[in-house]
Amino acid sequence: EKIKIGKFRTIYKDAMEKLEKMEDTAKGREIIKNIKDALAGAKEANTKAMELGLSDNATEAIAIFVSVTKIASQKLNELCDELVLFQQQQTDLRFSESQRSYRYARNLLFIIGLAVIGIAIFLAIVLTKSITKPLNNGVEIANRLAEGDLTTNIEVSGNDETSQLLSAMKNMTKGLRNIISEVKNAAENVASSSH
């Protein structure tokens, strides 16, 4: 029995050391301290019972062993139940906190995603307008020129492909005006010299 008790004491001691390392709350440390105190009281009673048993006071040894062991076992069971309940509450609390953190992170990512999509749509609209508006303007000018309207004022701003196209149209219109002007002048000269 002495060997069994010694073995159990070692197991309890190791278990308590592991519990102490894991526990990080004041309430949990208090419960563990109470368990250690109860174990110390049981150890003292067991030691006394063993000494009485070895000195031929078996009846008294058994009485102490049974009464103390029974009370100590009940106390230890209560304290262990309290520790398990406390740990369960802590686990539930941490689980709730992790769920809140998860929901917060999920919502934050959702909002960031919406913001990115919104910015992308805005940039697409701006880029589309910055490309299509000059192109539409270029098409309108080309149609006027095709109809023979050389009075169209072509304004060029920027250095992109559309601006380069408009600049070419402007130069072409200028060239056509000059040619038409020269043809008119030549026709007037021919008409005035024939008079």
Q: Please state, in angstroms and rounded to a whole number, the distance separating the CA atoms of residues 117 and 124.
A: 10
Q: How does DSSP assign 32-70, residue by residue?
A: HHHHHHHHHHHHHHHHHHHHHHHTT-HHHHHHHHHHHHH
Q: What is the pLDDT of residue 195?
A: 60
DSSP label of 153 = -
* pLDDT on residue 106: 94
Q: Are 138 and 155 in contact (CB under 8 A)?
A: no
Q: pLDDT tens digits for 21-31? A: 877 888 888 88
Count other Cβ atoms within 10 Å, centred on residue 4. Answer: 8
Convert the pLDDT of each residue in 142-153 to its tens digit: 888 788 887 777
Model confidence band, residue 117 (pLDDT cutoffs 50, 70, 90): very high
C-alpha–C-alpha distance, residues 137 and 72, integer Å: 96
**pLDDT (tens digit per residue) in 122-147:** 998 888 777 777 778 778 888 887 88
- pTM of the shown model: 0.48
